[in-house]
Structure 1
Amino acid sequence: MRTRPLKVALLGCGVVGSEVARIMTTHADDLTARIGAPVELAGVAVRRPDRVREGIDPALVTTDATALVKRGDIDVVVEVIGGIEPARTLITTAFEHGASVVSANKALLAQDGAALHAAAEEHGKDLYYEAAVAGAIPLIRPLRESLAGDKINRVMGIVNGTTNFILDKMDSTGAGYQEALDEATALGYAEADPTADVEGFDAAAKAAILAGIAFHTRVRLDDVYREGMTEVTAADFASAKEMGCTIKLLAICERAADGASVTARVHPAMIPLSHPLASVRGAYNAVFVESDAAGQLMFYGPGAGGSPTASAVLGDLVAVCRNRLSDATGPGESAYAALPVSPMGDVVTRYHISLDVADKPGVLAQVATVFAEHGVSIDTVRQQGKDGEASLVVVTHRASDAALTGTVEALRKLDTVRGVASIMRVEGE
């Protein structure tokens, strides 16, 4: 066994970074045995050096992250600071100075993953990022290694624990959105500013990463259709229950039926209670993968938090350190397919539309005519009326998003339609 330790620089020492440092210390003997050489925490870059960090030698702490990654004796840089800059510059600088990188930075990878992979390849170094997508759930490595010989057709999942907690609370208690969000905030599941979670930005970044790996195609954050969940209401859940469904914020990446293009999207959707994703409760994550040979696979577990995310980081650290010892690198970017990313209008699915209409004869016929004119076939209709007003719920057969959009625009112009209360996609059937 090699006796000279592999040196690790840690960029960021918040919830995840401090847990990475703790595990490196407490599990040092096990990590040495698994890697084949000791690993040594050689430096920790932080913004506030005066904060007490239990278990970390103050002599290792620095505010000069650039100098740390430029040292030349660093084998692996672990980046858990997040954001675009300075993380992007620090990662490329690490490659230039001989270090491989382990990152949990979903936003940066979704935006500039291709450039980072190119920099890693140019310098013959590794870029691993299992922790960027679903916390402790092993997902990136199975997609790009275990399923490398298979053809993946669809990846659909719950990849944000905050939103799943909120929707699960609305479903199980009948709470409204704001009430459920307040509880999530009080319990520490939601940030003081939950925008990145509830508006789908976090899930969209993860969808871009997953789609790129699954379909061997470069998919950027801008390619992902995104719709938040702030407009989901208790009435939507009541309608979902009548259909034998629940509502989840889903990241969906799929290959077109003809295999010639891909789509990536994030939005709330109704899914049948019989679908495995419907039973994912609380702040847990789960990803459902469909492929030609393996069939249907489900990956489930905690998707966030210090310990779960640190577990994924340490798994990558072990893999990268082993590669360093054998003078090898692991899988890099695989974008050979270069499939076009189709717009949301090309997506085909079912829809649940709730309309507020006048309660008088002929309204249903008018509405049905609009659907027919736009080529959207109606599956079921449910109407409830009272005091001159009515609620009309229409569930369609499969149709393109473009056709549905045109239908809704036409419905809004009808004098008998007071408003479109809700539009929800129906997935997983």
Structure 2
Amino acid sequence: MTLLELAPRVPVSDRLATLPVVIVGAGPIGLAAAANLVERGIDFVVLEAGDDIADSVRSWGHTRLFSPWKHLVDPASARLLEASASGWTVPDPERAPSGAELFEEYLLPLSSLDAIASRIRTGVEVVAVSREGMDRTRTANRAQTPFAVRLRNEHGEVEELSARAVIDASGTYRTPNSLASSGLSLLGLDEIAEHVHPALPDVFGRDRAAFAGRHTTVVGAGHSAANTLLALVRLAREVPGTRVTWLLRNANAVRVSSSADDELAGRSALGARVDAAVRRGDIEVVDRFEIVRARKGAAGAGGAVAVVGHRAGELVTHSTDVVVNATGFRPDLDLLREIRLDLDDIVEAPRRLAPLIDPNLHSCGTVAPHGFAELTHPEPGFFIVGMKSYGRAPTFLLATGYEQVRSVAAWLAGDMRAATNVELVLPATGVCSTGVGPEASGSCCR
């Protein structure tokens, strides 16, 4: 089967040619998709659920990325910025910025370019995607029928947009994995919700009061968990009574790699720092704990939260004041119920992409270059890109997403040579984590 047979270009009828491409999400990958479409002369609209662009990035802006600037800037975006009157230049290529710096020094200027700013709508949540007048069961003339993108706008009203194609770059940060080891919603979560924080809380900023002088349990074994553990250890040195527990499902503490072969120096050192903190007793490790449910802690029981689970064949209770859910993320597929998807049964990535990103076989730097062909679904003109394209796999790098959208934009423009000529140079990484299981699916490869 040829690439042309694998992913036929959307037939552009007279009406389709007048419609924009809808990009869901104004994060780094969504904005890169916009930049590539600008260069291709293809109209688009970007729909962002947050009140500003890159809402998820801003939520963990206090966290330093592992990748240096040379791996964080999309080539098409850089060309547009450098050609603008702003005087923008690429920041120090070898320095790894924080999320806030990524936003302020790159994403915000990019989103402010006239060709992109005029096409962004913020405070707009996409709630469903389908085809106009047909659900997923209807086939006749499907590829010639515009997409119907239903959204809840900034005024809370529901409306629909017609689109030539849809690029879902909405990411996964808003849909974390469950704390329950079964993957189902945690029983009792409503009782303790006020004591549960998402991954990468701002321990020394907006969230400090929630952790200072309290016992925090971090659940998860990825890099997000490691970052939070180290921040809490530092806080414990400053505030008496601050305690840190690392709760793991595996028999051993599943640590991020501290391989000397990792070209991303910040990530290389992370595992070693966590190991040292565990050896010093700064972090208490509770391993082989399979969480079943949670409830409010009983008075005098040692914490506001009681986490109940199986350990060594027994049902036991772990008491704590605060829980950080660093168990990783999963794609929100509810809005795509009427779209014909072809997803891997395990990681929920596009089926042709899944073998290339399987975390049991690949680290961030060993993912093969891929583009529109691997991202194609049975729904012509629909693509999931960026972190969401990786499903539950934790091996995503921004540079990978940039090449994805470059290829997709070329395909939409009918430039098959550029679409199929996929190239990607990633930093050597070693293994992102060891003993990988669903628990080890934190954000490992920013």
TM-score range, shorter chain: under 0.3
TM-score computed with the length of structure 2 as normaliser? 0.23
Task: Flag the structure with more relative contact order, 1 or 2, with Cα contacts below 8 A and sequence separation at least 6.
Answer: 2
TM-score computed with the length of structure 1 as normaliser? 0.24
User: Between Structure 1 and Structure 2, whose CA radius of gyration is higher?
Assistant: 1
The structure with the greater share of residues assigned to helix is: 1
